[in-house]
Amino acid sequence: MAIADVALSTPLAMQVTPADWPGGYWWHWLFFTIVIIAFVLVMVMGAIYIERRGMGRMQNRLGPNRTGPFGLFQPVADALKVLLKENIVPTTADKIVHWLAPVVAFTPVLLIFAVIPFQNGALLADLNIGILYIVAVSSISTVGVFMAGWGSGNKYSLLGAMRDIAAVVSYEIPLVLAIIGVVIVSGSLSLNQIVNAQDIPYILVQPLGFLLFFIAACAEINRSPFDLTEADSELTAGFHTEYSGMKFAMFYLVEYAEAIAMSAVITTLFLSGWRGPLLPPWLWFILKTLVVFFVMVWTRTVLPRVRIDQLMGLAWKFVFPLALINLFVTAAEVIIWPDVSQWYFVIANIVIGAVLVFLWSRIYKPGLGRIEV
Amino acid sequence: MTTTQELSLITESFVLNMGPAHPSTHGVFRMRATLDGEVIVDIEPIFGYLHRGIEKLMEERTYTGCIPLTDRLDYVNAMNNNFAYCLAVEKLAGVKVPERGEYIRVITAELQRIGNHCLAIGAMLNDAGALGTPFFYLWRQREKIYDLLEMLCGQRLMQNYMRIGGMSQDMPDEFLPALAKFIPQLDSFMNEFDFFLKQNEILYARAKKVGILPKDVAINCSISGPVARASGIKRDLRKDDPYSIYDRFKFDIPTGEIGDCYDRYRVRIEEMRQSTRILEQAIKQVPGGPFRADVPQVIRPPVGEAYAHVEGPKGELGFYVVSDNSIAPYRCHIRSTSLINLTALRQMVRGWKVADLIIIFGSIDITMGEVDR
């Protein structure tokens, strides 16, 4: 049998669908596709609301409060405004690439949610390589960003896209290394099983891993202080300078959907996902995701932006070596004391993490960054 | 290991046109930057997008009628512009300003200096990517200063408050108590603001040793104000050539060490503190009596010329007025601080990156209205 036939006859996800799901694979698939799209859109609206109101509060102002009660309909108004704008394509643009870029950027973000468990077993596909899949899929967005930068025929866009490629290539490695720490402790690549294994949230078992993952995730999705791709004060709007109307709305959606996706991944990997007392599991999941997102809004509000060479320096001189050490320490602990309660790891890892970060931040100096011309 | 030469990779620099409509050019300044990737090889500043011919317009108006035009030079600190112009005309016409008038002048000028530095620091941090948060906090203080100035003359941005020989009107009774209440509040705000930003790692990495202006270059380019003082030049016209009643106040001249962006930022913070010191002393000393000398609306100064300068918030602001015994100045030249401070920009930014260009430009603190006149 040819390989293609195998792939068609038994979709990978079908093999891992929970056995008790009524109606078989296709109903399951349809239900979760709709749920995921609705979830992403609603969460993005919530995220926009939290960001605009939260930033407003932190910046000594009210934030939008005119549309609906407490300004709750502001995201709707935003979306309508953007959608009704004229679609402008610059004459120097590479038309097809310019048109395709928002789609290429948006699709992978939706794909991430395919493997994230909303509650126990409630996910589109319980891939046994779930976390690997996320790492692979989430990087595809960068292609969309680079297409936007190249296809716009604008130097600002190109500079922004170059920065995005540089950031993603650098931060992908510490991101994966931080994940491997979690995988070693939980003993699985499947996100559902990782959550099931978290009797203690891994933010405690892997505090350093969490910190490094958070930094790397922020850099991957271009959240401040690593928002060099957009860098409104430097590159006007970076890669989406030339976008308007619906296509800009897509990029706007990608920005927040990526942030929500990364918050969901952080929730799943480090904050014990849907697990929690009293409230229903899916509500726990959403609450934790929004809390992580709020931390992102918080950092965005209070921190200035780093420079491109400082961004790379942080990746290679700070995050990457610490992630390696963290990986080594975690692996050693698991091998040497396989049967010890994880609470010992919690204490040891918090101490090790704090000492490492303290010492390394003494050693690490951001470079000067000037080049003789 | 193969190097770039061995691969014979050909790289080209390209020209990036920043401005006149760009978020961080503080108006309509235009820079033709030649970039090699992210590195700035060269920039060519282009002025003149806001040229309104103010010097020529002043030849068509009476001496008093010119005062509103000076408001529109550096619209962020109208009072200091009024101050310099009035000093020049008073020198020409031999008018003596009464004591109370001098004190009101000093109070308003120092209030505007604080307001200007609020804007300068806020805009610089905004350019560094702090997304408005410090800006809004400083803006609030500037708003209170405008409230105070509104109390004096009913106008907020372009006060047009000074006249030849004094002020247009006396200050109301409730002004001094309101000012006395404002000063300690500003002091506590400054301490808090300083606490948060003095130890901000990212700001430190972005601004320290970035865009160094050496002392000799600063002197050769005739740089003045906080930019020169940050380079270690202890020069302040309020001390070196005390005009008005500045010789009666005790205050220090803060200077920087190496003249980088961080020093320029620190010097401004310290100058705000020194200005509050001057205000505190001025409140206690304000005498009664007339606020304006008996000068007619239309004056005919004797044939001659006069130059008067003040230490504006941005540096030395001078007015050179020539009289031919008519009701309007024969010629009026403005030594505009912003334009002259901007001449050193090219030497400061070469070899730095695009992001640094923005923060260096922000740290010089210019107003386009004054550059183009």
Measured distance CA(B213)–CA(B223) in Å, rounded: 10
- Which chain A residues are closer than 8 Å to B38 by Cβ? 159, 162-163, 308
Q: How confident is the model at residue A10 (pLDDT cuts 50, 70, 90)?
A: very low
The verdict on a CB contact (< 8 Å) between A309 and B353 is yes
pLDDT tens per residue across span B183-232: 999 989 988 888 888 778 888 888 888 888 888 888 898 898 899 999 98
CA distance A364 to chain B (A): 12
Residue B7 has a pLDDT of 62
Q: Which residue has the higher pLDDT, A19 or A250?
A: A250
Asked if the model's pLDDT at residue A8 lies above 60, the reply is: no
Tell me which DSSP letter residue B156 carries: S
Tell me which DSSP letter residue A317 carries: I
Tell me which DSSP letter residue A70 carries: G
pLDDT tens per residue across span B315-329: 888 999 999 888 888
Measured distance CA(A264)–CA(B28) in Å, rounded: 43
CA distance B158 to chain A (A): 25
Measured distance CA(A11)–CA(B365) in Å, rounded: 62
Residue A22 has a pLDDT of 59
Residue A293 has a pLDDT of 92
Asked if the model's pLDDT at residue A1 lies above 50, the reply is: no
Asked if the model's pLDDT at residue B298 lies above 70, the reply is: yes
Cβ-based burial of B88 (10 A; exposed 0-12, middle 13-18, buried ≥19): buried
Residue B1 has a pLDDT of 47
Hey, is B335 helix, strand or coil? strand
**Backbone torsions φ then ψ of B154, nearest 5 degrees:** 80, 5
| Alpha helices (runs of H) in chain A, residue ranges in sequence order | 3-9, 12-16, 24-58, 74-83, 95-112, 130-138, 140-151, 155-186, 191-197, 202-205, 207-220, 232-235, 245-270, 281-302, 308-313, 320-336, 342-363
> From the centroid of its chain, how far is CA B366?
7
Given a contact cutoff of 8 angstroms between Cβ atoms, the answer to whether A199 and A134 are in contact is no
Burial B38-50 (b: 16+ CB within 10 A, else e): bbbbebebebebb
Given a contact cutoff of 8 angstroms between Cβ atoms, the answer to whether A337 and A344 are in contact is yes
Measured distance CA(A54)–CA(A157) in Å, rounded: 29
Q: Which residue has the higher pLDDT, B272 or A30?
A: B272
User: How many residue contacts between A and B have a Cβ separation below 8 Å?
Assistant: 99
Average pLDDT over chain B reads 87
Domain ranges for chain A: 11-363
- Which chain A residues are closer than 8 Å to B200 by Cβ? 303-304
Measured distance CA(A345)–CA(A325) in Å, rounded: 15
Residue B322 has a pLDDT of 92
Least CB-CB distance to A304: which of B24, B37, B129? Answer: B129
Given a contact cutoff of 8 angstroms between Cβ atoms, the answer to whether A228 and A222 are in contact is yes
Mean pLDDT score, B245-259: 88
Domains and CATH numbers, chain B: 53-372 (1.10.645.10)
pLDDT tens per residue across span B71-106: 888 888 888 899 999 999 998 888 888 888 889 889
Q: Is the dihedral of CA A324, A329, A330, A336 positive or negative?
A: positive
Q: How confident is the model at residue A203 (pLDDT cuts 50, 70, 90)?
A: confident
CA distance B315 to chain A (A): 25
pLDDT tens per residue across span B13-23: 888 888 788 87
pLDDT tens per residue across span A143-181: 888 888 888 888 888 888 888 888 888 888 899 999 998
The pair of three-digit structure tokens given for residue B252, joined into one six-digit string = 């220090």
Mean pLDDT score, A186-201: 85
- Which chain B residues are closer than 8 Å to A305 by Cβ? 128-130, 202, 206, 355
Mean pLDDT score, B289-314: 87
Measured distance CA(B109)–CA(B102) in Å, rounded: 10
Cβ-based burial of A195 (10 A; exposed 0-12, middle 13-18, buried ≥19): buried
Asked if the model's pLDDT at residue B142 lies above 50, the reply is: yes
Q: How confident is the model at residue A14 (pLDDT cuts 50, 70, 90)?
A: very low
Nearest CA in chain A to B357: A234
pLDDT tens per residue across span B336-364: 888 888 888 888 888 888 888 888 888 88
The pair of three-digit structure tokens given for residue B345, joined into one six-digit string = 């920009």
Find the farthest-apart pair of alpha carbons in chain B and give their distance in angstroms, rounded. Answer: 83
Q: How confident is the model at residue A294 (pLDDT cuts 50, 70, 90)?
A: very high
Residues 6+ apart with CB under 8 A from B331: B55, B59, B320, B321, B322
> At which residue do the structure tokens 């290679």 appear?
A316
Mean pLDDT score, B63-78: 88
Residue B123 vs residues A360, B117, B128, B315: alpha-carbon distances, Å: 33, 10, 9, 18
Mean pLDDT score, B52-56: 88
Measured distance CA(B181)–CA(B332) in Å, rounded: 40
CA distance B31 to chain A (A): 13
pLDDT over 90 for what percent of chain B? 5
Q: How confident is the model at residue A202 (pLDDT cuts 50, 70, 90)?
A: confident
Residue B260 has a pLDDT of 87
Given a contact cutoff of 8 angstroms between Cβ atoms, the answer to whether B38 and B47 are in contact is no
Q: How confident is the model at residue A367 (pLDDT cuts 50, 70, 90)?
A: low
Q: How confident is the model at residue A112 (pLDDT cuts 50, 70, 90)?
A: confident
The pair of three-digit structure tokens given for residue B221, joined into one six-digit string = 């380019």
pLDDT over 70 for what percent of chain B? 98
The pair of three-digit structure tokens given for residue B301, joined into one six-digit string = 């100064």
Annotate A167-192 with DSSP letters as a single string: HHHHHHHHHHHHHHHHHHHHT-S-HH
Q: How confident is the model at residue A359 (pLDDT cuts 50, 70, 90)?
A: confident
